[in-house]
Amino acid sequence: MLALLAFALSLVCAVAVLISAARAAAMALPGRPQPWCEHLVRRAAATLGWAAGAVYALGLAGVAWSEAEVGDGADSTPAPACRMGFAPEIIKGLTHHRASYLPLRFDCVREDGSVYVGDPDLLWMNWTWAVLALTAALLFLGMHYRTELRARRAAVR
């Protein structure tokens, strides 16, 4: 259930990214609202924020899907994400898994306590959504700092 909800959230965020990107690109057209720089920064921050949400939700769906596959029928324990696509010597002694939603992780644990990553794609997803979210936050804070700075300069004059 969580996997389907996360996938649906990812689709909603992806559509919002397209809409926000189109609104940001529209700033290059004649008849743009004034002051156009502030609108552009606001729209770019929204685009980056929605993109961060889309990437995170897609990774969340992957972790939730892997978690949901455990115990679902024959040959489902330990998690198929820990067994499929790995060499037999890597999965030897596999006992259980650990899933994490923040940061996105799916770790597979062996009898000796050693751990290997069940889904290596989650690494780039973690970095991507974090960088997108940080950039969106910096643009948003920069936009408000600029407004505050203008207000202070106007009060001094």
The per-residue pLDDT for 27 is: 81
pLDDT band for 16, please (50, 70, 90 cuts).
Answer: very high
Q: Identify the helix (H) or strand (E) that includes residue 133.
A: helix 121-156
Q: Which residues contact 92 (CB under 8 A, 6 or more apart)?
A: 110
Looking at 10-19, 73-82, 100-109, 147-156, which range is the least confident one?
73-82
Instruction: Report how far residue 107's alpha carbon sits from residue 37's, in angstroms, rounded to the nearest whole number.
Output: 45
Q: Residue 56's domain spans which residues?
A: 2-156
- Looking at residue 119, its pLDDT comes to 81
The pLDDT of 121-127, averaged and rounded, is 91
pTM: 0.83
Average pLDDT, the chain: 87
Out of 10-24, 45-59, 63-77, 100-114, least confident range: 63-77
Number of folded domains that form the chain:
1
Residue 131 has pLDDT above 70, yes or no: yes
Contact 56, 47 (CB under 8 A): no
- Asked if residue 130 has pLDDT above 90, the reply is yes
One-letter amino acid of 133: A
Mean pLDDT of 128-132: 96
Mean pLDDT along residues 63-77: 78
* pLDDT number for residue 74: 65
Q: What would the pLDDT profile of 22-50 be if each residue is shown by its tens digit? A: 988 888 888 877 778 888 888 899 999 99
